[in-house]
Homo-oligomer: A and B are copies of this chain.
């Protein structure tokens, strides 16, 4: 792609570094900004820079926060004895949106994935084990992706904490609400039969 302007080229190249944004999309976005008032670009740049420079991670659960300890960890009405282990900040937001969990979180910052060069030391695993070692925690809920990497990470953490007196659980895997059995894959369907729950339990969430 040949550009008639170095400024344009540089902006497109920087934009195209974002994941899922190719050169063509980047050009479309940049030309859109050119048609908008100059303030829109200034606001965008300002918001991105101050977000990147000033944002903090909660020193307790590693969730994104504007202060040292995040709102969730700071909330005395939440149950600090139940910790939900998640991959990243988006998962915290997703679970919070369900309004079904009143414990606290621990954000790992990813999952163990040797193919991407991510080992246990790059994740917030040690701080989780240290937290459990304090003996204040009753239950760990693993809420990681149902993939090989997620399962590996669950198992790695499980091995580190299995000597402590603590309950561990994973979120239920099964047929998604609204799904037709016909289209479910065999592994999911098989597990959902093995892990069947008393019918009365399924009525509770209605």
Question: Nearest chain-B residue to A30 (Cβ)?
Answer: B51
Q: Are B49 and A2 in contact (CB under 8 A)?
A: no
Residues 25-61 (chain A) with a chain B CB within 8 angstroms: 25, 27-34, 38, 40-56
How far is it, in angstroms, between the C-alpha of A33 and the C-alpha of B50 when the chains are bound? 12
Judged by a CB distance under 8 angstroms, whether A63 is at the interface is yes
User: Chain A: how many interface residues by the 8 Å CB criterion?
Assistant: 59
Contact A66 B6, CB 8 Å, known A30-B48, A49-B42: yes
Judged by a CB distance under 8 angstroms, whether A97 is at the interface is yes
Q: Which of A87-95, A136-144, A179-187, A193-201 contacts B (4 or more CB under 8 A)?
A: A87-95
Q: Are A41 and B49 in contact (CB under 8 A)?
A: yes
Q: Are B29 and A19 in contact (CB under 8 A)?
A: yes
Number of this chain's copies in the complex: 2
By a CB distance below 8 angstroms, the chain B residues around A7 are 47, 50-51, 54-55, 66
Which residue of B13, B29, B38 is within 8 Å of A53 (Cβ)?
A: B38
Per-residue interface assignment for chain A, residues 125 to 169, with 1 indicating a CB less than 8 Å from any chain B CB and 0 otherwise? 000000000000000000000000000000000000000000000
A interface, over-half SS: helix
Contact A51 B19, CB 8 Å, known A45-B45, A88-B31: no
By a CB distance below 8 angstroms, the chain B residues around A56 are 5
By a CB distance below 8 angstroms, the chain B residues around A19 are 28-29, 32
Q: Are A89 and B44 in contact (CB under 8 A)?
A: no
Which residue of B21, B50, B63 is within 8 Å of A4 (Cβ)?
A: B63
Which residue of B6, B34, B63 is within 8 Å of A52 (Cβ)?
A: B34
Judged by a CB distance under 8 angstroms, whether A96 is at the interface is yes
| Besides A7-B47, A33-B51, 10 new A-B residue pairs in contact (Cβ under 8 A), listed by A number | A1-B97, A2-B93, A4-B72, A6-B66, A7-B51, A15-B47, A20-B29, A34-B52, A41-B51, A45-B48
Interfacial residues, chain A to chain B (CB-CB below 8 A): 1-8, 10-11, 13-15, 17-21, 25, 27-34, 38, 40-56, 63-66, 70-72, 88-90, 92-93, 96-97
